[in-house]
Structure 1
Amino acid sequence: MAEVTLNGITKRFGADTALDDVTMTIPDGAFVVLLGPTGAGKTTTLRMVSGLDRPDSGSITIGDEDVKTLTPAERNVAMVFQQYSLYPHLTVRQNLEFPLKSPLLRTPKAEIDAKVVRVAETLQISHKLDNKATQLSGGEMQRVSIGRALVRNPAIFLMDEPLSSLDAKLRADLRIELKSIQANTGATLLYVTHDQIEAMTMATHVGVLDHGRLVQFGSPRELYEDPVSIYAASRLGQPRINILPADIFGAAPAGATRIGLRPEHIIQGEGQEARVVRVEHLGDQTRLHLMFREHPIVTVSDAHTTLNEGDALSIRPESAYYFDAAGNRIRVRTQ
């Protein structure tokens, strides 16, 4: 595996800027997740690293090597796409073997057999090795697609929303498996998603992209607890952060136009009165939808709360974030 560095990467498609001066280091052995909505530049970043597209400016190094002039095959990367990309006429075993039979790798047959067996066991598809790809379920096909990358020993794994088309239970299962595989092998992995749960549960580092700009890069905890902007704060957290007028609870710091409150940072039972407009019982917790001075607020409460629609509830903020008119964080000094 290898450290991968992007330095000042810019990519334009006509008048549209897909990536704007992106600089980021993917540490050796890290699980880096790129997070953002459609059009943020996530897949374009993967394509830059893989060599499928070339940047208009900037450099990319894999290990100590500048790969700008190298083809995708020469970069020693393994990519998993959102779609399964399997050869339908081949068996699962043959699909898994295929990348190892590349003339560039020249892998001995005994090593191919051993790697295929090991990866099939890891992904729980050993019993499907002799099945054609067309005989598999969607979840099984995606496991094979991931397995085709895992049999390799690349400098970096690149994964483009590989779990997005799966059902919720299978996504949860494969999240655990992927993180376990990455942790046990020490693989370097760059993973693209718009799903904040995938980012929070799998990543060692998260890069938040906004219209081709890298707005924040750090650990999931750092991004959640210390966001640099409203945009970054809104990428992580469920329920989402509440964004309200800055002075809604009283005095705000100079330059602040909005206050941001995580649902768990709203203290209940003291402060100013709000009205309960909806109660959502979720088993382990309850979400309270409140109305405070004509502004909706979502907070969380005990699973066994007795609050009902129409009840009054006093609230006050704690650990609030303040933002200026451009949505950037205003740091408030504490005594």
Structure 2
Amino acid sequence: MAEITLSNLTKRFGDTLALDNVSMTVPNGAFVVLLGPTGAGKTTTLRLVSGLDQPDAGGVSIGGVDVTRMTPAQRNVAMVFQQYSLYPHMTVRENLAFPLKSPLLRYDDAQIARKVGEVAEMLQIAHKLDNKATALSGGEMQRVSIGRALVRRPEVYLMDEPLSSLDAKLRADLRVELKNIQAQSGVPFLYVTHDQIEAMTMASHVGVLDHGRLVQFGTPREIYEDPVSVYAASRLGLPRINILPADLFAGAPSGARFIGLRPEQIRQGDGDESRVTRVEHLGDQTRLHLKFRNHDLITVTDAHSGLRSGDIVQITPDAPFYFDASGARVH
């Protein structure tokens, strides 16, 4: 196992500041998800850890060893890119086996065959082993790309939205499998995604990035229940947190400009009147879209709710978050 430490990492591309003095520790055996929109610095972070790019300032250490000036091969990391990168002239079997044929690993043919077979079964591509990579669908190609990383035993797995091209069922299956692999191997994962469900279900820690800055780092529960800003609060949770003017409700603290209400932070049955504009029955719960003093908000209620569009419900905040004019949390 290898702890990853990022120390004051800064990276520019021309006039663009892609990463701004980022410090973060990925603990031994952690599954760390980086969250943020396009341009936040997520992929740049992976490329600096992998050695594909060099920082303008700061450093990277893996397992206590400064690897900042080492090549990717010297770092012993495995990276899965958002766009699959396979050898098109090789079969699936050959693509999966290729990383294991390094003389440094010293695997014999039987060991290679066993590892390839195990990964192919897990990724549901065993029936494609003798197909050329060019004969695969996009989703199958990405599964092979993931498999090429998983057959190895690197010190670090780096994954850049590896499930984005897969269908919903396979994404759900592989979320479970990747989490199991990480837990069993103890190898740290640094994983980039836009998918909040992936972050909530897979991560032991989440790093929230905004324009190259790390704005919050903690467990998914910590960030969900104790966000430092409107931006951090908006990264996790579906439906998204409701952000409204703080003076819509009584009791806002001094300096508060906005109130943040997750769906479960809206108590029904007393308080101020709100009109139901839409009802979504989702099986295990019912999602209510409300109009409150000319503001839209979303909450959840009982799965068997009989509420309909046009009904009036009374609502009141329940342990809400407050934020100042800049979006920073007010306690």
TM range (shorter): over 0.9
Q: Structure 2: state its 5+ residue gaps.
A: none
Q: 2:321, 2:194 → 1: CA distance?
A: 24
**Paired amino acid for 2:98:** F
Moved more, 220-229 or 175-184: 175-184
Aligned to 1:148: 148
Aligned to 1:89: 89
Q: How does 1:211-250 map to 2 (within 5 A)?
A: 211-250=211-250
**Residues 115-143 of structure 1: per-residue CA shift (max 9 Å, x gap):** 22222232232232222222333332222
For the pair 1:309 / 2:288, whether they are aligned, the reply is no
**Residues 77-96 of structure 1: per-residue CA shift (max 9 Å, x gap):** 00001112111211111001
Q: CA deviation at 1:320?
A: 0.3
**Paired amino acid for 2:163:** L
**Paired amino acid for 2:299:** T
**Paired amino acid for 1:263:** P
Q: How many residues align?
A: 331
Aligned to 1:288: 288
Q: Structure 1: state its 5+ residue gaps.
A: none
Aligned to 1:327: 327
**Paired amino acid for 2:278:** R
SS at match of 1:5: strand
Q: 1:103, 1:209 → 2: CA distance?
A: 39
Q: CA deviation at 1:171?
A: 1.3
Aligned to 1:20: 20
Q: How does 1:124-143 map to 2 (within 5 A)?
A: 124-143=124-143
**Paired amino acid for 1:222:** E
Q: 1:41, 1:105 → 2: CA distance?
A: 33
Q: CA deviation at 1:53?
A: 0.4
Q: How does 1:61-140 map to 2 (within 5 A)?
A: 61-140=61-140
Aligned to 1:4: 4
Aligned to 2:56: 56
**Residues 17-41 of structure 1: per-residue CA shift (max 9 Å, x gap):** 1000100001111111001110000
TM, length-normalised to structure 2: 0.97
In the alignment, is the contact (CA less than 8 A) between 2:268 and 2:313 conserved in 1? yes
In the alignment, is the contact (CA less than 8 A) between 2:142 and 2:165 conserved in 1? no
SS at match of 1:247: helix
**Paired amino acid for 1:112:** I
**Residues 233-288 of structure 1: per-residue CA shift (max 9 Å, x gap):** 00001111011111211131011101000011101110111111111122221111
Q: CA deviation at 1:106?
A: 4.1
In the alignment, is the contact (CA less than 8 A) between 2:289 and 2:296 conserved in 1? yes
Aligned to 1:172: 172
Aligned to 1:297: 297
Q: CA deviation at 1:227?
A: 0.4
In the alignment, is the contact (CA less than 8 A) between 2:31 and 2:190 conserved in 1? yes
In the alignment, is the contact (CA less than 8 A) between 1:258 and 1:323 conserved in 2? yes
Q: CA deviation at 1:103?
A: 4.2
Identity score, percent: 74
Moved more, 133-142 or 242-251: 133-142
Q: 1:293, 1:38 → 2: CA distance?
A: 33
Q: 2:296, 2:117 → 1: CA distance?
A: 54
Aligned to 1:42: 42
In the alignment, is the contact (CA less than 8 A) between 1:139 and 1:170 conserved in 2? no
Q: CA deviation at 1:112?
A: 1.9
TM, length-normalised to structure 1: 0.96
Aligned to 2:271: 271
Q: 2:222, 2:116 → 1: CA distance?
A: 38
In the alignment, is the contact (CA less than 8 A) between 1:289 and 1:299 conserved in 2? yes
